[in-house]
Chains A and B, each alone.
Chain A
Amino acid sequence: MAATKRALGLLLLVLLSGPAWAEDSKSVMLKWSQLTEDQRKVLSPLSKEWDTLRPWQREKMLDIARDYPKMNAKQQARVQQRLNDWSRMTPFERENARKKYQQFQSLPPEKQEELRKKWREYQSLPEAQREGLRREQPDLYDANELDN
């Protein structure tokens, strides 16, 4: 009886997740010309370099295209504007940004607004001063990690 239950559970898991694996591995190999109209529209800043992206990079970008319709017009505009730089970041930088974004999301709204305000103030500083501030921070990243 127990063996039958285990077998049934395993079978169900395979049935439910099997098509998803197949779909994922298929979708990340898609060429630019094979993307849907909607995906091409969202990922248009990457049109020239799409076919050179690695499968895992394409997968992440397709995730962005999937979530894009759930966003408001302002957010969508920012995504389009930042997509190119984002695709050129190293996996380490992106992972670091994700972690800090999650920390930011967990802050209370007033703290989040304060940080946004501080960022705007920081942006208004002269580039030379910002460069000086960057040099003050010891390099926490290992060069090998940045090459990942």
Chain B
Amino acid sequence: MNQQESTVKLVVQALDASVENLDDDVIRRLATARERAVSAMQPQWQAAGHAGVFHSLGNYVLHHRLMTSAALLLGALALGFIVTQHVIGQHQLEQGDAFLLGSELPPEAYLDKGFDTWLQQNAR
């Protein structure tokens, strides 16, 4: 145990001895004051439990308007980009040249004028 710890221990012992020697009236007043302080703090703790997060968030948004706007804008752009890529991807999946070449009907079928004529004649 070093010098500092010994000093702390002596101070604690002196305080404990002082508490034991307090008047009953002083002890009663201290206890009443403590109860009042605790009951005064209780509503604040309960409110903080329910709305504290929203309150903090609101304060943050108010104090960082520019950053919040930029973050919202970037988020919206990123979402728009992802959605667009997804839609384009879907479109390309079915419309790409590879799928045209891989389909049962060959490209010549779409370009053969004789086939068009033949279809028209058969439709009559």
Cβ of B94 under 8 Å from chain A:
yes
Whether A47 is near chain B, meaning CB under 8 Å from some CB there, is no
Number of A-B contacts (CB under 8 A): 127
Interface size bracket, A side: 35 or more
Interchain CB contact under 8 A, B117 and A136: yes
A68 (CB) vs chain B CBs: closest residue: B98
Interface size on B, residues (CB 8 A): 38
Majority secondary structure, B binding face: helix
Q: How far is the CA of A100 from the CA of B113 in the complex (A)?
A: 13
Give chain B nearest CB distance to A49 CB in angstroms.
Answer: 17
Q: Is B99 in contact with chain A by the CB < 8 A criterion?
A: yes
Nearest residue in B to A5 (C-beta to C-beta)?
A: B73
Main secondary structure of the interface of A (DSSP, over half): helix
Report the bound CA distance from A44 to B111 in whole Å.
Answer: 25
Binary B-proximity of A30-73 (CB < 8 A = 1, otherwise 0): 00000000000000000000000000000010011011101100
A117 CB → nearest B CB, Å: 10
Take A122-B114, A133-B114 as given contacts and tell me if A115 and B105 are in contact as well, using a CB distance cutoff of 8 Å.
yes
CB distance from A113 to the nearest CB of B (A): 9
Assess the A133–B77 pair: CB atoms within 8 A. no
Is A25's beta carbon under 8 Å from chain B? no
Task: Report yes or no: B117 in contact with A79, Cβ–Cβ below 8 A.
Answer: no
The answer, yes or no, to whether A104 is at the interface (CB within 8 Å) is: yes
Task: List 10 A-B pairs, Cβ < 8 Å.
Answer: A5-B70, A70-B98, A75-B103, A97-B100, A98-B97, A100-B110, A100-B111, A116-B105, A118-B122, A133-B114
Please give 20 more A-B residue pairs, beta carbons under 8 A apart, in addition to A75-B99, A134-B112: A5-B69, A12-B77, A63-B96, A67-B92, A74-B102, A79-B98, A79-B102, A82-B106, A82-B107, A83-B101, A86-B101, A97-B107, A98-B100, A104-B103, A104-B105, A105-B95, A116-B104, A118-B122, A133-B113, A137-B116
Q: Enumerate chain B interface residues (CB-CB to A < 8 A).
A: 66, 69-70, 73-74, 77-78, 81, 92-119, 121-122
